[in-house]
Chain A
Amino acid sequence: MGVIEVNNLTKYYGKARGIIDVSFQVGEGEIFGFIGPNGAGKSTTIRLLLSLIHPTSGSATIFGKDCFLHGPELRRDIGYLPSEVFYYERMKVIDLLKYSASFYERDCTQRMNELAELMELEMNRRIEDLSYGNRKKVGIVQGLLHQPKLLFLDEPTAGLDPLMQAKFFQLIREENQRGVTVFFSSHILGEVQRMCNRVGIIKEGRLIEIADIRTLQQNNYKKVRVTADGLDAAFLDLPGVTNLEQQNGAIRFFYKGDINAILHKIGAVTVSDVTIEEPTLEEIFMHYYE
């Protein structure tokens, strides 16, 4: 059974679209990437799963229990790092973290100190004096200190310097190796590519693709570049060819389908150069969003 199961989840804010008919599953121990541009519905999905907002229709379960009926119970084992971190401005970091820990039955002190040390967090500063990056670190510590079994990370790396990002990814990997399931929302594809097993791609509120990262890269699309004198791009316009463009005598396109078909086609003409590559996730992504 999936840790997260979402069935036909729909959310409208009045008439404004949130997400429409979204269904997916996340298995135990998985790092599931959730990709989409700003406003596509990533945060809406996470906020629904945390019952910060209520669905218009559809259902969702976490650990096999309905999110909207068992919210408080489920949230004992959930850690959440929101995209924008806001805490009680007047509090000191240490007091905020202790307050956060006081919601959980277990003693979180040790883990809290470990995380704070790892993130190089100054515990005696007031929240109002912290930079955005430092607030984000507070967010990371408060989201992890109770050793959750499921993590929701909403654009987690924004504001972190590269060194901290690396530490953060290492931390998430370690959590994951301990069996923690991670739901990782981002519009930065490089990090999703590095971290995730599977990705869901969301566009204008609809989930348009769920795939294994490798499948997405290897089996779906090839990035093809053909250089040949006097070759017209239209010649290569087969079924499965997209983004066909001609520049400086080179023809570039994405191809999805039987690789032999395109090889035969290219083989029929005299070419000076051919490259066939796996596209980066960025390119796949752009392809989805055209």
Chain B
Amino acid sequence: MTMRMNILHQEFGMRRQSVIIWSLAIAALILLYLSLFSSFAADAALLNEMMSQFPKELLTAFGMNDTDLSTVLGYFGLAFLFVQICLAIQAASYGFALVSIEEREWTADFLLAKPVGRAQILTSKLLAVLAGLAITDAVVWGASLLALAMFTGGQSFETKPLWLLLLSVVPFQLFFLSVGLVVSLLVKRIRSVTPYAMALGFGMYVLSAFGDLLGESALEKITPFQHFDPHYIVQHAAYDAPLAALSLAVIVVSLVASYVLYRRRDIPAVV
């Protein structure tokens, strides 16, 4: 399970541009969204009244029922849902592409004919992606703290739910990364990563939204949008422990299965 620095370096380099673009886009989203807070808060009473006019189903779908948009964290929690969707798609696309891209572009022959084991390759690749995701996280955290400092107009808020919210992105990304990876190893070939990543990212979100709508408890068990629901975290200043544990279990199982599958995998040849 050791890793190879040269592979890590190569993999990190190949993903650098993508990491920068995702990080800046999410940071911009956070800053833009939070910059509107003061105007929302100024008309908070009006806004909350308007919201109560909306169909309850609509609000539920966006995780906004009994959300108080006039509070900093209420508002930030809603913004965070969009951040989560972006992070989900980013992490899923890295997961789906991690080994499948070498097979799609036929570079696997080059890499696997080198004196390295499959587990070493997978570990090195995973560490390179984790480094990329860590950079995105750092930017997301930095942008969040900056935006909260700049745009809340001195309104105070609790820091514990904020930190729990910010830290939740780590297991959240790992979920999409590892599930993407294991799915890519279960199928024969992934022709294009983007549709798979969008399907997993949005799919899980939609599942979460529908779960809320239907009050269905079975669906929420599988989607990390429920495991790390910003609304729940803000309200309870805690994670929903059983659901968070479920997320971690999925991550561990997916990673272990990925190692097993990758070691056994037959690398397809050009025909």
Which A residues are within 8 Å of any B CB, using their own CB? 13, 43-44, 47, 50-54, 71-76, 78, 80, 82-84, 86-90, 99-100, 102-104, 142
Contact A104 B115 (CB under 8 A): yes
A99 touching B6, Cβ below 8 Å: yes
The residues of B that contact A103 with a CB separation of less than 8 Å are 4, 6, 114-116
List 18 interface pairs A-B (beta carbons < 8 Å), by A numbering.
A13-B266, A44-B269, A52-B109, A52-B269, A53-B266, A53-B267, A54-B264, A75-B114, A78-B113, A80-B109, A83-B270, A84-B106, A86-B106, A86-B110, A88-B10, A100-B114, A102-B6, A103-B4
Q: How far is the CB of A96 from chain B (nearest CB, A)?
A: 8
Q: CB-CB < 8 A to B270: which residues of A? A: 83-84, 86
Assess whether B107 is interfacial by the CB under 8 Å rule: yes
> Cβ of B120 < 8 Å from any Cβ of A?
yes
Contact code string B3-17 (vs A, CB < 8 Å = 1, else 0): 010100010001000
| Residue B105 is within 8 A (CB to CB) of chain A in the complex | yes
Complex contact A43–B269 (CB within 8 A): yes
Residue contact B112 to A142, C-beta cutoff 8 Å: no
Residue numbers in A under 8 Å from B112 (CB-CB):
50-52
**Chain B: interface residue total (CB-CB under 8 A):** 22
**B117 at the binding interface (Cβ < 8 Å):** yes
Residues of B close to A75: CB separation below 8 A? 113-116
Contact A142 B110 (CB under 8 A): yes
Write the chain A residue with the least CB distance to B266: A53
The interface residues of chain B lying within 8 Å CB-to-CB of A54 are 264, 266
Smallest CB-CB separation from A98: which chain B residue?
Answer: B6
Instruction: State whether B106 touches A72 (Cβ < 8 A).
Output: no
Leading 4 A-B pairs by shortest Cβ distance: A86-B106, A102-B6, A103-B114, A53-B266
Could you list 20 further interchain pairs (A-B, Cβ under 8 angstroms) beyond the known A54-B266, A72-B120, A80-B109?
Answer: A13-B266, A43-B269, A47-B267, A52-B266, A52-B269, A53-B266, A53-B267, A75-B115, A80-B113, A82-B109, A82-B110, A82-B113, A86-B110, A88-B10, A88-B14, A90-B14, A99-B10, A100-B110, A102-B6, A103-B115
B105 & A89 in contact (Cβ 8 Å cutoff): yes
Q: Which residues of the partner chain A approach B114 to less than 8 Å between Cβ atoms?
A: 75, 100, 103
Is the pair B115, A87 in contact by a Cβ cutoff of 8 Å?
no
A-facing residues in B45-89 (Cβ within 8 Å): none
Q: Looking across the interface, which residue of chain B has its beta carbon closest to that of A18? A: B266
A142 to B110, CA, bound (A): 9
> How many whole Å from A97's CB to the nearest CB in chain B?
11
> Is B109 within 8 A of A86, CB to CB?
yes
Question: Which residues on B sit within 8 Å (CB–CB) of A78?
Answer: 113
A127 → chain B, closest Cβ, in Å? 10
Residues of A within 8 A of B110 (CB): 82, 86-87, 100, 142
Nearest-neighbor residue (CB-CB) of A51 within chain B: B112
Q: How far is the CB of A278 from chain B (nearest CB, A)?
A: 35
Contact A52:B107 (CB < 8 A) given known A47-B269, A72-B120, A84-B270: no
B73 to chain A, nearest CB (A): 43
B-chain residues with CB within 8 Å of residue A90 when the two chains form the complex:
14
Q: What's the nearest-Cβ distance from chain A to residue B141, in Å? A: 30
Residues of B within 8 A of A51 (CB): 112
